[in-house]
Amino acid sequence: MKNNLVSLPSGTVLNLDLVAYVAVLPGAADRRKKMRVVFGFAGPGGAAANMQLDEEDSSVLVSALAERGVDVAALRESILTRK
């Protein structure tokens, strides 16, 4: 069985099988929170569940995606330059 769990520095364990998409937040270059992770299941009320990650957690998630063969070059660039 392939391990799709990622342990983030904040103490959160993320199951990559449940992630629908990852997006860099507007103004990420100047914000503490860098990235939004949206999950493929609906939370209470039918809204998609999501969470925001800080710089350390974002970096670990991007590295984990890269290890799994995802091209993350544009994602890394957006985190650093998005205004």
Instruction: Report the pLDDT value the prediction gives residue 2, as an integer from 0 to 100.
Output: 64
pLDDT of residue 1: 42
Structural domain spans, the chain: 5-81
Number of alpha carbons in the 13 Å side-chain half-sphere of residue 76: 11
Is 72 in contact with 66 (CB distance < 8 Å)? yes
- Which residue matches tokens 């039918």? 46
pLDDT in tens, 33-58: 889 999 887 667 777 789 999 999 99
Give the model confidence (pLDDT) of 9-42 as tens digits: 999 999 998 899 999 998 888 888 889 999 887 6
What does pTM read for this prediction? 0.83
Question: From CA 21, how far away is CA 36, in angstroms rounded?
Answer: 8
Query: Which of 33, 43, 40 lies closest to 10, judged by CA?
Result: 33
